[in-house]
């Protein structure tokens, strides 16, 4: 899933293990932001940097999307980890889309899908 915000930020959302692999290791650059719900299966979400700063509202929106496309979508608040793609690594011998990461910060957000975020998306 490719989304573009009104300010021109591009967000990629992988909704299964194959798409997660493509989003994280095919579409993303090392400095792009990577988001994933802490500790449960779910979407890999990437915000393309393209040389500029990413507005906080875009990061929170991407975190809400990661929460929605996760096993915790029914929860009121969900912890979402954020790090640079360069800190995300495939787990050797693990299934497709399985990763480990470091240098993360954690946001707590409400799950939202792309249809409920029209104020930010084009």
**From first to last of its 122 residues, what are the pLDDT tens digits of the chain?**
999 888 888 999 999 999 999 999 999 999 999 999 999 999 999 999 877 788 899 999 999 999 999 999 999 999 999 999 999 999 998 888 889 999 999 999 999 987 776 656 55
Instruction: Give residue 66's pLDDT.
Output: 96
CB atoms within 10 A of CB 77: 10
Pairing state between β 2-4 and 10-14: antiparallel
Question: How far is residue 18's CA from residue 71's CA, in Å, rounded to a whole number?
Answer: 17
Q: What is the pTM of this model?
A: 0.92
Whose tokens are 């104020």? That residue is: 119
Instruction: Give residue 115's pLDDT.
Output: 77
Instruction: Give residue 49's pLDDT.
Output: 86
Both tokens assigned to 117: 């975020």
């Amino acid at each position: 899933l490719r989304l573009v915000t009104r300010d021109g930020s591009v967000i990629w959302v992988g909704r299964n293990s194959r798409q997660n692999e493509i989003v994280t290791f095919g579409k993303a650059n090392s400095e792009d932001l990577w988001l994933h719900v802490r500790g449960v299966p779910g979407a890999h979400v990437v915000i393309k940097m393209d040389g500029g700063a990413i507005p906080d509202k875009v990061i929170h929106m991407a975190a809400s999307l990661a929460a929605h496309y996760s096993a915790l979508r029914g929860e009121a608040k969900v912890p979402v980890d954020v790090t640079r793609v360069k800190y995300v690594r495939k787990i050797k011998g693990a299934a497709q889309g399985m990763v480990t990461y470091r240098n993360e910060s954690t946001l707590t957000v409400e799950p939202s899908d792309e249809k409920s975020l029209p104020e930010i998306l084009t």
